[in-house]
C-alpha cells in the first residue's frame, strides 16, 4: 500500500498551512457528502424539506471552494512550493473543484426530487436510481477517505468502481425509455428521472477524479484519461 504524507519543513508555519488546506478539503468533502445523502433521501422518500435544505446549503459549498482556493494561491505565491509540496497544493485545487461540482450535481438531484414529488410519478423507476445513488455516494465517501490517508491502493480501488456507475446509468436509461414507450403520459416525469441519473453518473466521474489526484500526489504520475489497468501498471512500475 502506497500512502503519502505531507513533508515536514523547517518552517512550522508552512507545515500548518499545508495541513490546514488538507483538513478544510475534508470539511468541504463532508458537507458535499451530506448534501448528496440528503438529495437522495429527498428523492427516494419524497421528503421535500431535505431537497430544500440541499438547495439552501449549496452556496456554502461554493464559499468553501473559493476560500480554500484563495489559500492555495497564497501558498503558491509566498512559499513557491516545489516537488511533493507543489503536487499537494495542485491536488487540493483540483479536488475542491470536483467537490464543488459534486455539490452542484447534488443540488440538481434535489431540484429533480421536488419536481418528481410534485408530479407524483410512480416509484418503480426509483429503484435503479436509488441503487445508483448509493453506489456513487459510497464512491465519494471512499474517495475522500483515500484523500485523507493519501492511500493509492484505496484510490485505485475506488476509481475501479466508476465503470459500474456507467453501466447502472445505461441500464436506468433503458428502463426509463421502455417506461415512456409504454405510457407517453409519463414522459415529463421520466425525463426528470433521466436527468437525475445523469447527475449521479457525473458524480461517479468526479469521485474517480479525486482518486486520480491522490495517485498524482503520492506517485507524481498523471493518471488521468487512462484505463484502470494502465493506472495499476503506473503505480506498480515503481
pLDDT for the residue numbered 3:
65
pLDDT of residue 27: 98
Comparing 124 with 86, which gets the higher pLDDT?
A: 86
Say if 7 falls within a structural domain: no
Q: Please indicate, yes or no, if residue 4 is contained in any of the structural domains.
A: no
- Per-residue pLDDT of 4-62, as tens digits, reads 565 556 568 988 999 999 999 999 999 999 999 999 999 888 899 999 999 999 999 99
- pLDDT exceeds cutoff 90 at 190: no
Residue 238: DSSP 8-state: -
pLDDT tens digits for range 59-115: 999 999 999 999 999 999 999 998 999 999 999 999 999 999 999 999 999 999 998
- 3 in a domain, yes or no? no
- Supply the pLDDT for residue 55: 97
What is residue 6's predicted lDDT score, i.e. its pLDDT? Answer: 56
Domains in the chain, number: 1
Spatial separation of the C-alpha atoms in residues 223 and 113, rounded to whole Å:
35
Residue 131 structural domain: 12-233
Q: What is the mean pLDDT of residues 164-185?
A: 90
Q: Convert the pLDDT of each residue in 134-162 to its tens digit.
A: 999 999 999 999 999 999 999 999 999 99
pLDDT in the model for residue 134: 95
What's the gap between Cα 49 and its chain centre? Answer: 23
Q: Give residues with Cβ within 8 angstroms of 124, minimum separation 6.
A: 179
Does residue 193 form part of some domain? yes
In this structure, what CATH number is given to the domain that contains residue 118?
Answer: 1.20.58.220
In a domain, 30, yes or no: yes
Q: How far apart are the C-alpha atoms of 158 and 1, rounded to whole Å?
A: 14
Is residue 142 one of the residues assigned to a domain? yes
- Short-list 132, 136, 127, 126, CA closest to 189: 126
pTM score: 0.91
Amino acid at each position: 500500500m502506497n500512502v503519502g504524507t505531507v513533508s515536514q519543513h523547517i518552517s512550522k508555519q508552512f507545515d500548518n498551512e499545508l495541513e490546514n488546506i488538507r483538513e478544510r478539503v475534508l470539511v468541504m468533502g463532508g458537507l458535499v457528502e451530506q448534501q448528496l445523502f440528503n438529495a437522495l433521501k429527498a428523492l427516494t422518500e419524497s421528503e421535500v424539506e431535505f431537497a430544500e435544505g440541499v438547495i439552501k446549503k449549496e452556496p456554502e459549498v461554493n464559499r468553501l471552494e473559493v476560500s480554500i482556493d484563495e489559500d492555495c494561491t497564497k501558498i503558491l505565491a509566498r512559499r513557491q512550493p516545489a516537488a511533493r509540496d507543489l503536487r499537494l497544493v495542485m491536488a487540493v485545487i483540483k479536488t475542491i473543484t470536483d467537490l464543488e461540482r459534486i455539490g452542484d450535481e447534488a443540488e440538481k438531484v434535489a431540484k429533480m426530487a421536488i419536481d418528481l414529488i410534485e408530479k407524483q410519478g410512480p416509484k418503480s423507476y426509483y429503484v435503479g436510481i436509488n441503487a445508483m445513488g448509493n453506489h456513487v455516494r459510497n464512491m465519494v465517501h471512499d474517495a475522500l477517505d483515500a484523500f485523507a490517508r493519501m492511500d493509492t491502493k484505496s484510490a485505485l480501488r475506488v476509481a475501479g468502481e466508476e465503470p459500474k456507475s456507467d453501466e447502472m446509468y445505461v441500464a436506468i436509461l433503458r428502463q426509463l425509455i421502455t417506461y415512456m414507450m409504454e405510457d407517453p403520459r409519463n414522459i415529463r416525469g421520466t425525463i426528470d428521472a433521466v436527468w437525475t441519473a445523469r447527475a449521479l453518473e457525473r458524480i461517479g466521474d468526479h469521485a474517480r477524479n479525486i482518486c486520480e489526484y491522490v495517485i498524482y500526489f503520492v506517485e507524481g504520475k498523471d493518471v488521468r484519461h487512462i484505463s484502470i489497468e494502465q493506472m495499476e501498471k503506473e503505480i506498480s512500475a515503481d
